[in-house]
Amino acid sequence: MFAHIRKHQQWLFVFIIAAVIVSFVIFFTPTVGTGGGGGTSQGGNVVGTIDGQNVTQEEYQNAYGEVSLQVYLQMGRWPEQLGNQFGFDPQQQARSRLVMLRKLDAMGMQVGDEAVAKWKVNFFSDPETEAFRRELYDTVLENIKARGMTEEDLNRYAANQIGIGQLTSLVSLSGELIPPREIERVYRDRNLSATTMAILFSRTNHIAAAQDLTGLETYFTNNMAVYRVQEKRKIRYVKFAATNYLAEAETQLNQSTNLQAMVDAIYLEKGTNSFTENGVTLTEEKAKEQIRSEELNKKGLDVAVDRTKQFMQGFAKFGDLSSGALEQLATEMEIESKISSEFSRNQLPPGLGVPFTFTQQAYQLTEEEPIGSPMETTDAIFVLALEEIIPDHPPTLDEVRVRVTGDFRREKQLEAAREEAKQVRENLKTAMDGGQTFTKACEELGQTIVEIPPFSLTTRSLEDLKDRRITVSWLQNLAFAMNPENISDVSETSDGAGVLYLKSFVEADTETMTTEMADFSKELSQTRLNETVSAWMQEQRKAIAGFGTENINN
């Protein structure tokens, strides 16, 4: 439904989505237990201050509710449904919104009912016909009411959005007023083109430097935090694979319908060209074998689900759930249970061929709740139990010796490459001070020059640059801090080090500048506007003091 919501205001960026997912999960927020939107209960409790003025629980809850509503209108989901996506922190956003709302109040900015009505007509209009979509509005109301909010909460949110838009427009005026000469200067600076050459020094040319492992222990000690061993887990599990129940699946299918007749019907319905392998249409016989296998596997998974349900019911006799209970139950029901190899939060269990959801569920298990809900994959059902938690810990050298040795060797190679670069750079500088050109000096020193295509501060990539040891940011950082006909200091690269020679700068083409100036002016104005508003908001956030949700009652 949100495909019909339009981006009518520059300060309200609306993500277009196709459906609304309503959450029924209760989680701890300042709105739980207080009606979600209005939050009138315990409204007198002080939860923080802004500019030394108290903020009540009700005021904070209203701001939190508006942030939640904004996320819903923009994303089609409530904040808790987003999880950690986009780095969104609803509590921090609620505090920021409080600052804005206090500023609106201080400036006496009022938004009338007519403006709110126009906002709603505008926001919920059809993008093609611009007609107000009543059914869309009613659906939104229904969903926010399920959240514990009211139409009055939506009206208050709309009024505050209008006010915030007016406020940011006022603040941003100074960011939009850029003199034409300043625009031209910035354009010329950003489009100044550098002509350069480089010489590079790679660690791979210094293999011998990494043979001596003297100092390995000291290197490990100095970098021990890097090698800290992450928490790992072992999981006991039972697997109800669809393939274990194919015979029973075939029997059930033949009891309800003739399996072969089903296969024939599916083949005729989908058509002979629907069944291919590597782009080649299968014969009728092979196609029907494929259909039969798919139908048996689907039914086999249904049987696996039934067996899993029976297994889960067996836990009812255990007072305490544990990995041991799962093992005992599996033995009694003559089902094999296994223990996984240890794995970290970011790893798949070795050798199981399971999706990452297995790892995710494994790390949701706790000693208090050691057995998870059945987890379905494409071809099996798993029941997981927490077998062992191996805590994170500082490693011994022997635990991580292979990794440490590899890193130590690489570091020794990098150091050797950078020392070589320093020596060559000194010799190069001496030769150039004596009147030699950069090219001639490199030739006499036996150094290979890397030719670099022209670039500017606006360059994002250099397709004609074949040497992947060089990055655009490396070139920009060096070249635009230099004067022409000079060489840079030695600069580190991921592979070693390098020295850049700046031959010349080339001014932006006047004709191109004239063509691009209008668009550039708009872009620069928008950038300055954003910077102005951002700086102002940072300043306003400093007004928040002693603000914490630990005082907010649920």
**Burial tier of 256 (Cβ tally within 10 Å: 0-12, 13-18, 19+):** exposed
CA distance 118 to 122: 6
Q: Going residue by residue through the chain (554 aa), what tens digit of pLDDT does each one get?
A: 444 343 333 222 222 222 222 222 222 233 333 334 433 334 458 877 777 788 888 888 888 889 888 888 887 878 877 655 556 677 888 888 888 888 888 777 788 888 889 888 888 888 778 888 888 888 889 888 988 899 999 999 999 888 888 777 666 555 556 778 888 888 999 999 999 999 999 999 999 999 999 999 999 999 999 999 999 999 999 999 999 999 998 888 888 778 888 888 888 888 878 788 887 888 888 888 888 888 888 889 999 999 999 999 999 999 889 999 999 999 999 999 999 999 999 999 999 989 999 999 999 999 999 998 999 998 899 999 999 999 999 999 998 999 999 999 999 999 999 999 999 999 999 999 999 999 999 999 999 999 999 999 999 999 888 888 899 999 999 999 999 999 999 999 989 999 999 999 999 888 888 898 888 888 887 777 777 767 766 666 665 655 554 444 33
Question: What confidence score (pLDDT) does residue 314 get?
Answer: 93
When computed from its CA atoms, the radius of gyration of the chain, rounded to whole angstroms, is 33
Secondary structure (3-state) at 526? helix
CA distance 72 to 87: 16
Question: What confidence score (pLDDT) does residue 518 get?
Answer: 87
CA distance 19 to 5: 12
Handedness of CA 332, 333, 335, 339 (dihedral sign): negative
Secondary structure (3-state) at 267? helix
- 540's enclosing H/E stretch is helix 510-541
CA distance 433 to 496: 26
Question: What confidence score (pLDDT) does residue 34 get?
Answer: 35
Closest C-alpha among 550, 524, 547, 541 to residue 191: 524
For residues 141 and 151, the answer to whether their CB atoms sit within 8 Å is yes
In 94-192, beta strands by DSSP E:
none
Structure tokens at 205: 């040319």
DSSP 376: E
Closest C-alpha among 462, 484, 483, 458 to residue 471: 462
CA distance 215 to 75: 54
Q: Which domains does the chain have, with CATH numbers?
A: 2-175+543-551 (no CATH), 193-210+400-506 (3.10.50), 232-390 (no CATH)
User: How many residues in the chain?
Assistant: 554
**Burial tier of 49 (Cβ tally within 10 Å: 0-12, 13-18, 19+):** middle
CA distance 171 to 165: 10
Query: 459-478: string of b/e by CB count within 10 Å (b at 16+)?
Result: beebeebeeebbeeebbbeb
What's this model's pTM, rounded to 2 decimal places? 0.54
Question: What confidence score (pLDDT) does residue 147 get?
Answer: 85
Question: In which residue are the tokens 């739980």 written?
Answer: 32
CA distance 329 to 306: 16
Write the DSSP string, 27-95.
---TTTTTTTTT--TTTT-EEEEETTEEEEHHHHHHHHHHHHHHHHHHHSS-HHHHTTGGG--HHHHHH
Query: 156-181: string of b/e by CB count within 10 Å (b at 16+)?
Result: bbbbbbbbbbbbbeebbeebeebeee
CA distance 322 to 234: 13
Distances (CA, A) of 185 to 285, 520, 551: 74, 12, 53
For residues 455 and 478, the answer to whether their CB atoms sit within 8 Å is no
Q: How many C-beta neighbours within 10 Å does residue 82 have?
A: 14
Q: What is the largest CA-CA distance in the chain?
A: 97
Secondary structure (3-state) at 231? coil
Structure tokens at 522: 């708009």
